[in-house]
Structure 1
């Protein structure tokens, strides 16, 4: 019974924390401050996903994908989004999308919590809309 209660506590705590972090991230972006979004990513040529974070600076021309394993990968903004891989999702809460950077770049599959996905789309597709005066 104790394990069950522990699992329920972790489930509710994670949901509360994630809602709080999404609200905080939205406020920081609206204020023109940089944010980090938890993410898993996989370039098309690799087989496994790497956990890391997207470092988004409002109005910047690129978004940095930073992980401990692979270091830093800059994703130029202004690319296109494509359908995700259907069988590689971490969980139902994590939305996946394929991002093709402009200029013959390599397709990168990104997985973020579904509540962060609109922020990621704006940061990569239309970063000029986030520029502050």
Structure 2
């Protein structure tokens, strides 16, 4: 019985922590401050499909781009003003993590991103029109 209680406590604490983190991210963006959103990314292109790499996406309100920095130090600059597309169905690994494909303007291939589903609307607003996040 103690194991079940411990698992339920961890589940509720995790949900509370994620909800609080999304609220903090939303407040910081509305105040015009930069944020870092934990996410995973992989680039699409010719050849075999690569794996997702964990890292953080740095978004600054009003900036012309967002920067994904992988844990290994690799960086991918995502220009704002692109379009979002649904990725392949097999890229959804977890119900809490939403996968989406973002094609920056002028890019030949999209970048696939996985973020907590609660961060997805903020990500869409920040990359499609950076002024949206600055004005609230």
| Distance in 1 separating the partners of 2:107 and 2:99 | 21
- Number of residue pairs matched by the alignment: 132
Q: Secondary structure at the match of 2:54?
A: strand
| Residues 1:84 and 2:83 are matched in the alignment | no
Query: Gaps (5+ residues) in structure 2?
Result: none
1:63: Cα distance to partner? 0.4
Normalised TM-score (structure 1): 0.91
Contact kept? 2:96, 2:117, Cα under 8 Å: yes
Normalised TM-score (structure 2): 0.89
Query: Gaps (5+ residues) in structure 1?
Result: none
RMSD of aligned alpha carbons: 1.5
| Distance in 2 separating the partners of 1:51 and 1:10 | 22
| 1:52-90 Cα deviation digits (max 9, x unpaired) | 111000000000101112521110111111112211222
| Distance in 2 separating the partners of 1:30 and 1:111 | 23
Question: Hey, what does 2:6 align to over in structure 1?
Answer: 6
Question: Hey, what does 1:41 align to over in structure 2?
Answer: 41
| Distance in 1 separating the partners of 2:7 and 2:69 | 30
